[in-house]
Amino acid sequence: MIKLEADMHTHTVASTHAYSTITENCTFAATTGIKALGMTDHVGTMPDSPHCWHFHNYKILPHKINGVYVVHGAEANIVDYNGTLDLDKDSYRFVEWIIASYHKYTLKPANSLEHTRGYLKLAENENVDMIGHPTTANFEYDMEKCVKKFKEYDKLIEINESSIMWKRGSRENALELMRLCKKYDAMICINTDAHFHELIGKTPIALQMAESIDFPEKLIANSHWETIRDRILKKHPDISFD
């Protein structure tokens, strides 16, 4: 049975369609065996995103709350089909973990060729750690071509439980995406995208799908917190998680 030690895509009340504080998220995570959370509230052009000061003030937030490690992150929006993100330049130095996602609220869906081009350009952005929920039907793309590119540039590819549950087409697309990641030895990250603390760490559908195709645990980055931690410290060696 695959178990996860980190949930690297979660939201707090700073994103106003979420309902829990970072303390509530960590307190609940500690009861589930989750060792670390990515605190990844929305950015910039998303209608409910916090002011940039939310990210600039990460300096006052500890890296451990109620026994759970907190990674200071952000979910940035891909705002054009050249892979441009809306995280302002001043915020990069405060953020340790960047998810890049297509959202229909910040970019009008186009066609598979354009969506693919955006992902391929995005892969080259050294600041991006993970591709957020690349399974929704609104943004169809050439999965095989993009998986190979994401692997080439060492991007984690997210399997998102919330999308699987609530977004049209995501369940089928997630299974196909996992098959391709297995084929090309591309790393994935299975996350909740939790907007309420009692959802933290709960990914039964995604884990069942992974087990149904005998997906290798070694390719699930967040099955071990140390794997995620080492990726972060490679880019941000000044951080201390002690």
Residue 46 per-residue DSSP state: S
Residue 50 per-residue DSSP state: P
The residues pairing with 220 across neighbouring beta strands, listed in sequence order, are: 188
Q: What is the pairing mode between strands 97-101 and 6-10?
A: unpaired
The pLDDT of residue 197:
98
Q: Which residues, at least 6 apart from 25, have a Cβ–Cβ distance to it below 8 Å?
A: 10, 12, 37, 39, 194, 197, 200
The pLDDT of residue 242:
80
List the Cα angle 152/123/159 in 5-degree steps: 90
- Length of the chain, please? 242
Residue 39: other Cβ atoms inside 10 A: 26
Q: What are phi and psi of 137, to 5 degrees?
A: -65, -20
The pLDDT of residue 1:
84
Query: Where would I find the beta strands (DSSP E) of the chain?
Result: 6-10, 36-39, 64-65, 68-77, 97-101, 130-132, 156-160, 188-191
Question: Nearest Cα to 156, choosing from 96, 221, 101, 216?
Answer: 221
User: What is d(CA 144, CA 14) in angstroms, rounded to the nearest whole number?
Assistant: 35
Would you kindly state where each structural domain of the chain is located, as residue ranges? 6-235
User: How far, in Å, are 67, 108, 140, 165 from residue 169 at the CA level?
Assistant: 37, 18, 10, 10
User: How far, in Å, are 7, 23, 222, 226 from residue 241 at the CA level?
Assistant: 16, 17, 16, 11
Q: Which residues, at least 6 apart from 130, have a Cβ–Cβ distance to it below 8 Å?
A: 8, 9, 97, 98, 99, 100, 155, 156, 157, 158, 189
pLDDT tens for the chain, 242 residues: list them: 899 999 999 999 999 999 999 999 999 999 999 999 999 999 989 999 999 999 999 999 999 999 999 999 999 999 999 999 999 999 999 999 999 999 999 999 999 999 999 999 999 999 999 999 999 999 999 999 999 999 999 999 999 999 999 999 999 999 999 999 999 999 999 999 999 999 999 999 999 999 999 999 999 999 999 999 999 999 999 999 98
Q: Which amino acid is at 4?
A: L
CATH number of 6-235: 3.20.20.140
